[in-house]
Amino acid sequence: MPGGRLFLLLLLILVATAARAAVRAPQSPQEIEDAITRLSADEWRDRRDAMESLIAAGPAAEFRLARLVDETPIPEARIRAQRVLRQVRQVRRTEPALITLDLHDADAASAFGRIAEIEGAELSSDPSDLLRSLNNKVLISFDHVPYWRAVLDLCDRFGLELRCGEEGVRLVRKTPGATPDFTYGTSGTLLICGKLARWSDNPRDPGRTLRIEAYPEPRADLFRGDPAILLSRAIDQHEQSLLPPAETGTSPVSSSGSRGTGYQWNIPLRPMASAGTELSEVRGTVRVVLAERISTIETPDRPGGKALTGSLPINLSGGGVAASIQRIIPVNTSWDMDLQLDTDPAEVDWDALLASMQSGRMKVSDIDGHELSVESFWRAGAGPSNDVRIRFGTSREKSPQRPGPPYKLVWQMPAKTVSVVVPFELSNVRATP
């Protein structure tokens, strides 16, 4: 090929590569809406670029894509949206969503709805129609405000509060004159909750345990927390330090573990002067493992696909995880499932993977769709390659009928994780009534 033609060909390749690199993630709800519109563009390059930009947008595009799938009368646009949605739903937030809004005379439903569009998911409320039942309207102006700070601000404006527990975080109506159970702070993607719990039922007993709970944004996934916690400051209203004695640089934790979508730590404090003691200031750090990407694994994944009642082994994989279901053994009215797991430790935290199996992210049901419950869990070692045995039972709490043998498995496994050190600071932490 003559030198001039070769140079021209290389130049065209560079131009095309630069044009593809110019596709960027939409930075605002309007830019996401523009990309959504281009999914139906006449030019195939515009449709391709729209799909790539929406994938790059990640969680911020999910809410609008899901609505398009349900509402669009254009089959081609629906198919493209579904393809993008499958990839977007795997992505999880590891940095907070930044809320930018300017709303005049906004009611609660529209204000929280706009935040949900930016976040990519709604925050649940109790009752479910709570937001629509509120009549007051407010002026809202947020400029790159982290998600949880924006939510707490809206709660103050609309007379709401957050309730944290086994069902995660929910919006509820604030009870006039009542003291909230928790004091709230924010750090990154996490809502930090703090309160003082009594050591005993004796109201005069001044002993207190500091409970810290952390809950992720709706489009973030917290798979586990490090049981250790570092308290650097715990001062009461009289400027007295209540830090517990620590010889290793971390505070002694009486208990820790998963709580709903989050994680909790309980730290016994030094004896207090009186039962009315409060913590005017608390500072510390915790470490949590968040998912960067989720893989939803199903078997059978289509009609006629390989079911748990068929021949074994069944091999499953997603991201940095490979799993093989080796055996399913009947034990009285329960079933033991033996799995071999292999993880890439640079991609997936081993304990986070095990947590996904124990916390309800692995669901097993019979051929009629009746769910089986996890009765016990056993592992051979500490990863990154080991055997696991899970016993599934026939809990009537989840199914009024006695389920049959395991048939279908749906597993939301962490395909990539990241360990994050989270600093927190709380003020005026009170004892619960």
Last residue of a domain, one of 88, 108, 130: 88
pLDDT digits 0-9 by tens, 177-199: 888 889 999 999 999 999 998 87
Model pLDDT, residue 428: 93
The verdict on residue 7 lying in a domain is: no
Q: How many CB atoms lie within 10 A of CB 105?
A: 9
Model pLDDT, residue 395: 60
Q: Residue 210: helix, strand or coil by DSSP?
A: strand
Q: Output 67 or 169, whichever has higher pLDDT.
A: 169
Query: 287 and 189 in one domain?
Result: yes
Query: 273 and 222 in one domain?
Result: yes
pLDDT digits 0-9 by tens, 124-172: 999 999 999 998 999 999 999 999 999 999 999 999 999 998 889 999 9
Model pLDDT, residue 430: 86
Question: How many structural domains does the chain have?
Answer: 4
Model pLDDT, residue 5: 55
* Residue 208 belongs to domain spanning: 183-292+420-429
| CA of residue 203 relative to chain centroid, distance | 37
Q: Using CB atoms within 10 A of its CB, is residue 60 exposed (0-12), middle (13-18) or buried (19+)?
A: buried
The verdict on residue 12 lying in a domain is: no
Last residue of a domain, one of 173, 208, 235: 173
- Count, residues in the chain: 433
In this predicted structure, the answer to whether residue 19 has a pLDDT above a threshold of 50 is: no
The verdict on residue 135 lying in a domain is: yes
Share of the chain above pLDDT 70, in %: 91
Last residue of a domain, one of 142, 173, 204: 173
Q: At what angle do helices 75-88 and 44-57 cross, to 10 degrees?
A: 30
Q: Residue 188: helix, strand or coil by DSSP?
A: coil
Lowest-confidence segment of 53-57, 101-105, 322-326, 372-376 by average pLDDT: 53-57
Query: 189 and 143 in one domain?
Result: no
The verdict on residue 6 lying in a domain is: no
Query: 425 and 283 in one domain?
Result: yes
Query: 129 and 161 in one domain?
Result: yes
